[in-house]
Amino acid sequence: MDEQLNEKSEGQSQPQQPEPQPKPDIPAEPQLPPLPPTSQTPAGPEIIVNAGIEYASFFKRALAAIIDTVIMGSFIAATGVLFGDSNLVGSLSGLVAWIYPVIMVMKFGATLGKMSVGIRVQDVDTGENLDAAGAVLREVVGKFISMAVFMVGYLWMLWDDKKQCWHDKLGKSVVVKAKK
């Protein structure tokens, strides 16, 4: 029987396996030295914090808000006196009160109240003025949310490391001392 197997195997040619080719020398990935420690956001890319940033205090932010309230209150009162106390004038005045901070923060990085106390709003990542979406999220939506929950959103800055209120976080912004 062994002879029969040998005869069959002699008649059949076995497929030849190709000889293994030598692999070209591929250099290993270079080992980089470890990066210096940086602060990291919990859910996001690594961000190097600029140590030169000085965040605005609660007092300066509150004072700026009072000044802006006086400015807008004066505007609304003047429109009422000049054009009469109608629903249209009231609605337009209310609309201006919402648009004023959005445009000021987009264009100048600060409202008149913030400018008067030497603080400004900037993008948390770039340090630039906020874009339209960031300004609307911060000044309209975020401030409503900050106020709606017993003003806790405004007080949040007292224990936040970047002194951010809820509306700052929503608009991805920080309030800092303005450069002179």
- Tell if the pTM clears 0.75, that is, is over it: no
Instruction: Assess whether pLDDT exceeds 60 at residue 37.
Output: no
pLDDT tens readout for residues 78-127 = 888 888 878 888 888 889 889 999 999 999 999 999 999 999 999 999 99
Q: What is the pLDDT of residue 127?
A: 96
Decide which of 85 and 148 is more confident.
148
Decide which of 130 and 40 is more confident.
130
Decide which of 22 and 148 is more confident.
148
pLDDT-above-70 percentage for the chain: 72
**Where in the chain are the domains?**
58-177
| Residue among 96, 106, 109 at smallest CA distance from 131 | 106
Q: What is the pLDDT of residue 42?
A: 46
Least confident of 3-17, 144-158, 164-178: 3-17
Instruction: Assess whether pLDDT exceeds 50 at residue 163.
Output: yes
Least confident of 17-26, 49-58, 75-84, 124-133: 17-26
Instruction: Assess whether pLDDT exceeds 60 at residue 8.
Output: no
Q: What is the pLDDT of residue 6?
A: 53
Question: pLDDT band at 31, cuts 50/70/90?
Answer: low
pLDDT-above-90 percentage for the chain: 56
Question: pLDDT band at 1, cuts 50/70/90?
Answer: low
| Residue among 19, 110, 127, 128 at smallest CA distance from 63 | 110
